[in-house]
Structures are given as structure tokens and as C-alpha cells.
Amino acid sequence: MTVTPIELSASGIHLSRGGRIHAGARPVDAGRDGWHLKAFHARTGVDVHADHWQVNTEAEKIVSCIIGKIRLYLRPERPGRQEGEEEEEIRLTAGSAAIVPRGRWHRIQLDIPSTIMTITAPCGGRLERCADPL
């Protein structure tokens, strides 16, 4: 078998429970099996859906800042956010990561253009537009 380099910003990587790894420009339809790894360079908020909250209902999610500086925001855990209750802000710099708990709404904002890597389950993700424009 020939081993070739993978351009992470152009490929999605699927890590299956059975130990197989698939890399390609298009995600593999793996159903509920395994994990997806995605790395990308974000220049603006559009690249990270900064105007949307995201949630992963099936698994936790790793958000890692490879290069740059980003802010990861988590909604308060209780439904029906109280007035004045702030989102939790986690600042990530190059080489740092955070684990987003399963079912916790989150969003990313850039401080500067950054390279980001995420790892999560291939299913159970949803987006919701932020109520207040950023």
C-alpha cells in the first residue's frame, strides 16, 4: 500500500470504530459509525458560521485552534436563558483545544484568521441562527 500525504484543508477524514480511516474531498456516508475530523483555515466569521449556534446531540466535540486565536462560546446549560446570563467564553490560542459537551449549543468567533480542527460524530449536528446579529 502506498502512503500519500493528505491535504487536511481539502479533505474530510472519517475514523471508523473498526479502525479504518477514509480521507477524501467528500464526506463518507458512514451512518452513525466512528468520528469525523475536519481541519480548515478560517479568514472571516462566515467560514465558522459565527452567526449560528451549533449543537451535536450524539457526541462530544473537540474544537482545536491549530494556528491563530479564536473564541468558543457556550450557551448557558439551562433552557430559557435568564436575562443578563452570559454565554461562557473560552479563548483558544494556537495549540489549545476544548471539549464541547454533548448537547451543548456552541459557536466560534475569530480574533484573527485561524486554522481550526474539529472532531465529532458524523451525525446529530444542527445549526440555529443567532437571535442577535453579531
Half-sphere exposure of 129 (CA within 13 A, CB side): 3
Count how many domains the chain has: 1
Is 92 within the bounds of a domain? yes
Inter-CA distances, 22 with 15, 29, 61, 82, 118, Å: 7, 11, 19, 44, 16
Q: How many residues does the chain have?
A: 134
Give the rounded percent of residues in the chain with a pLDDT score beyond 70: 87
Inter-CA distances, 84 with 12, 33, 51, 81, 87, Å: 39, 40, 20, 8, 10
Residue 25 maps to which CATH number?
A: 2.60.120.10
Is 120 within the bounds of a domain? yes
Map grid coordinates 445549526 to a residue: 127
C-alpha cell at position 18: 473498526
- DSSP secondary structure, 67-121, as one string: ESEEEEEE--SSSS--TTPPPEEEEEETTEEEEEPTT--EEEEESS-EEEEEEE-
What is the domain extent for residue 118?
8-79+87-129
How many Å apart are CA 29 and CA 14, to the nearest integer? 9
pLDDT digits (tens, 9 = 90+) for 59-107: 999 999 999 999 999 998 766 555 556 899 999 999 999 999 999 999 9
Is 122 within the bounds of a domain? yes
Q: Return the minimum-mean-pLDDT range out of 26-35, 60-69, 95-104, 116-125.
A: 26-35
